[in-house]
Amino acid sequence: MRLPSRAGRATTAAAALLLAGCATNPVTGGREFSLMTEGQEVSIGRDADEQIREQMGLYDSPALQGYVADLGHRLAALSHRPNLPWQFAVVDSPAVNAFALPGGYIYLTRGILAYLGDEAELAGVLGHEIGHVTARHSVQAYTRATGAQFGLLLGQIFVPAMRANPYGGPGLADAAGYGLGVLMLRFGRDDEIQADRLGAEYSAAGGWHPAGVAGMLSTLGRISEQSDRRGVPNWLSTHPEPAARVGDVAPTVARLLETAEASTLRVDRSGYLERIVGVRFGDNPEEGIARGREFVHPVLRFGVEFPRGWEIRNSPTVVVASRPDRGAYMALQLAEEGQSAALQEIARRDTPRDARNVSGSAATINGLEAHIRSYQRDVDDIGPAAVRAAYVRHDGRVYVLGGVIPVADFTRLERAVDSSIRSFRGLTAEEVESILPNEIALYEAVAGDTWERIAQQAGGELVPAATLAIMNGHAPDEPPVAGVRLKIVVQGQPVG
Ligand SMILES: [Zn+2]
């Protein structure tokens, strides 16, 4: 969650889609119906690139950016479309993801770097995304995408779009803030298999071991099996079925290994590990972080406890906690800044016209002025829902924290939602100082190590043992191997 940016702007390239045409697919050589010329493709990518840099931000490490971009350019030069204005960047997001925009704009999150095991896997991810661009999947998916995305809806649960984005246009800027809306293109299974194959081919052509593609797919498959995954939207929502794709890419890898000098192919595990030491892991504390069931924000100086076992997801515009089945959720948003309007008035303005059984009352929550609003309305994906939202004034801002619960479950969940609402509190200076970012470090496994023991020693279980195993290319039930250097997560330096 972060304060709205005054520079926020809503960009739409939809106008470029009005001109339809026919183009040659650079990979297959076949003719296909396309809604875009290459010039339009590049211009859409360029506009969206601006939006991504602004909304997600680039990860602040010139050395790491240079490393990834250099590798990307070497692969792109060997691809089917070497002349696109290729750009490669690491965005400052903890989600495990990589994505490509039309025109050759490619992004890796810092989150995915923690899960790659060596340079061949990094080449595999970059080659895969380059493949989506060269085979024009990005163009095709872009023309299918619509603005009606989950994130857009979530961003507007309590705060109408116009007020949630006082500096941008309604809707689109909010979608971009949550999950980049239409830019998070979803590909079909055939496109994924083709991109995996192209990724292996480009990797091998560049001198990297093509099995890096299979290696990174295995890791991403393990992440999808792990139940407590966080950080959506991620690779899994945009790149389906990674585990099954390991088998699909195997024949391509085997064919490439027949023609290449296998001994000269680069894997470079130790070089890769050295590059990612110190890279931030998990949420940026500046935007608030989840610690267990608690969400704390050191800049806005507040803390909230969400119901036990609910999954917390943070984004620039909204913090969402959802029941594991996604059938009920709570959201926390900034409702007003720098205004002294009465809380009751703000709550009344935010209540949708179709709300039923509306009631409200003044309250004090941990010493803070509050107004609690309850009503019922029909909500997409849930049906008849009970909504309870508290408007809380803290440090000159008004926050709204509330639950959206199926009416049928309300009696059972009412207490959990109420106690979460009543947990909103200001943080002391000591608490603010205790909120530290996590980062990647290296550790050499010794005989008898288990993932549990390493997770404990590394910093009081900052990440679960299973996550540590998966980050290091193992299934959670495969023990670490003595003498091997591993990635671990440690506490970094205080913020600011
Ligand atoms: Zn993909």
H-run or E-run covering 273:
helix 269-276
Asked whether residue 205 falls in the same domain as residue 344, the answer is no
Nearest to 13 by CA among 179, 152, 138, 158: 138
CA of 448 to the centre of ligand 1 (A): 38
- Domain at 408, CATH number: 3.40.1000.10
Does 169 map to a domain?
no
pLDDT in tens, 159-182: 443 333 322 222 222 333 333 333
Question: How many angstroms is it from 104 CA to the middle of ligand 1?
Answer: 14
Position 420 in a domain:
yes
Q: How far is the CA of 342 from the centre of ligand 1 (A)?
A: 48
Q: Is 226 exposed, middle or buried (0-12, 13-18, 19+ CB in 10 A)?
A: middle
Beta bridge partners of 337: 397
**72 assigned to some structural domain:** yes
Based on C-alpha coordinates, what's the Rg of the chain? Answer: 24
Residue range 186-200, pLDDT digits in tens: 677 888 899 999 999
Residue 175 in tokens: 């979608």
Closest to 319 measured CA to CA, from 305, 337, 308? 305
What is the pLDDT, as a whole number, of residue 365?
Answer: 98
* Residue ending a domain, choose from 236, 261, 280: 280
Q: Is residue 6 domain-resident?
A: no
Residue 462 has pLDDT above 60, yes or no: yes
Give yes or no: residues 443 and 299 share one domain: no
Same domain, 311 and 359: yes
State which residues form the domain around 486: 436-491
Burial class (CB in 10 A: 0-12, 13-18, 19+), 146: exposed
Q: What is the mean pLDDT of residues 96-117?
A: 91
Within 146-241, where are the H helices?
150-155, 161-164, 172-179, 189-205, 211-225, 235-238
Residues of the chain with pLDDT > 70, as a percent, come to 79
Higher per-residue pLDDT: 202 or 40 = 202
Q: Between these two residues, 351 and 77, which has the higher pLDDT value?
A: 77
Neighbours of 149 (CB within 10 A): 19
How many domains does the chain fold into? 3
Q: How far, in Å, are 59, 64, 146, 222, 487 from residue 92 at the CA level?
A: 4, 12, 25, 23, 19
Rounded to the nearest angstrom, the distance between the alpha carbon of 56 and the centre of ligand 1 is: 20
Judged against a pLDDT cut of 80, whether residue 296 lies above it is answered with yes
Within-domain flag for 173: no
Are 269 and 291 found together in one domain? no
Q: Is residue 496 part of a domain?
A: no
12 alpha carbon – ligand 1 mean position (Å): 23
Same domain, 398 and 449: no
Q: What is the Å distance from ligand 1's center to 429 Cα?
A: 44
Question: Is residue 410 pLDDT above 60, yes or no?
Answer: yes
pLDDT-derived band at 86 (thresholds 50, 70, 90) equals: very high
Three-class SS state of 302? strand
Identify the pLDDT of residue 176. Answer: 31
Give me ligand 1 centre to Cα 132, in Å.
7
Q: How far is the CA of 136 from the centre of ligand 1 (A)?
A: 12
**Cα dihedral value 53, 57, 59, 63, nearest 10:** 30
Residues 213 and 349 in one domain: no
Is 227 found in the same domain as 127? yes
Phi, psi torsion values for 492, nearest 5 degrees: -90, -160
User: Residue 59 C-alpha to ligand 1 middle, in angstroms?
Assistant: 22
Residue 470 lies in a domain: yes
Domain for residue 343, yes or no? yes
Tokens of 274: 């050295």
Write the pLDDT tens digit of every residue in 129-138: 999 999 988 7
Q: Region 308-333: what's the mean pLDDT?
A: 82
Residue 95 is predicted with a pLDDT of 79
Domain stops at, among 280, 309, 326: 280
Q: Which two tokens stand for residue 289?
A: 């972080």
Determine the Cα–Cα distance for residues 174 and 69; give it in Å rounded to an integer.
29
Q: Which helix (H) or strand (E) holds 76?
A: helix 62-77
Q: What pLDDT shows up at residue 463?
A: 82
Averaging pLDDT over each range in 65-74, 263-272, 343-352, which range is the top one?
A: 65-74
Q: Which residues surround ligand 1, an ion (CB under 5 A)?
A: 192, 195, 239
Q: Are residues 114 and 50 in the same domain?
A: yes
Q: Among residues 333, 304, 288, 310, which one has the least CA distance to residue 405?
A: 310
Burial class (CB in 10 A: 0-12, 13-18, 19+), 381: exposed
What separation in Å is there between the alpha carbon of 201 and the centre of ligand 1?
A: 15
Using alpha carbons, list the distances in angstroms from residue 447 to 3, 450, 453: 48, 9, 12
Same domain? For 118 and 192 the reply is: yes
Same domain, 262 and 328: no
pLDDT, the chain, mean: 81
Do residues 449 and 413 share a domain? no
Is 336 in a helix, a strand, or coil?
strand
**pLDDT of residue 143 exceeding 70:** no
For residue 212, name the pLDDT band (cuts at 50, 70, 90).
very high
What is the whole-number distance in angstroms between the Cα of residue 112 and the centre of ligand 1?
A: 14
* Cis status of the peptide bond prior to 406, with omega within 30 of 0: no
Tell me, in angstroms, the distance from the centre of ligand 1 to residue 462's CA. 30
Hey, which residues does 297 pair with through a beta bridge? Answer: 302
Rounded to an integer, what distance in angstroms lies between the CA atom of residue 232 and that of residue 95? 6
Claim to verify: residue 70 and residue 199 sit in the same structural domain: yes
Domain C-terminal end among 401, 425, 449: 425
CA 278 to ligand 1 center in whole angstroms: 27
Which range, 95-104, 249-258, 372-381, has the best average confidence (pLDDT)?
249-258
CATH no. for residue 460? 3.10.350
User: What's the CA-to-centroid distance between 273 and ligand 1, angstroms?
Assistant: 24
User: What pLDDT score does 8 carry?
Assistant: 35
Residue 378 predicted with pLDDT over 50: yes
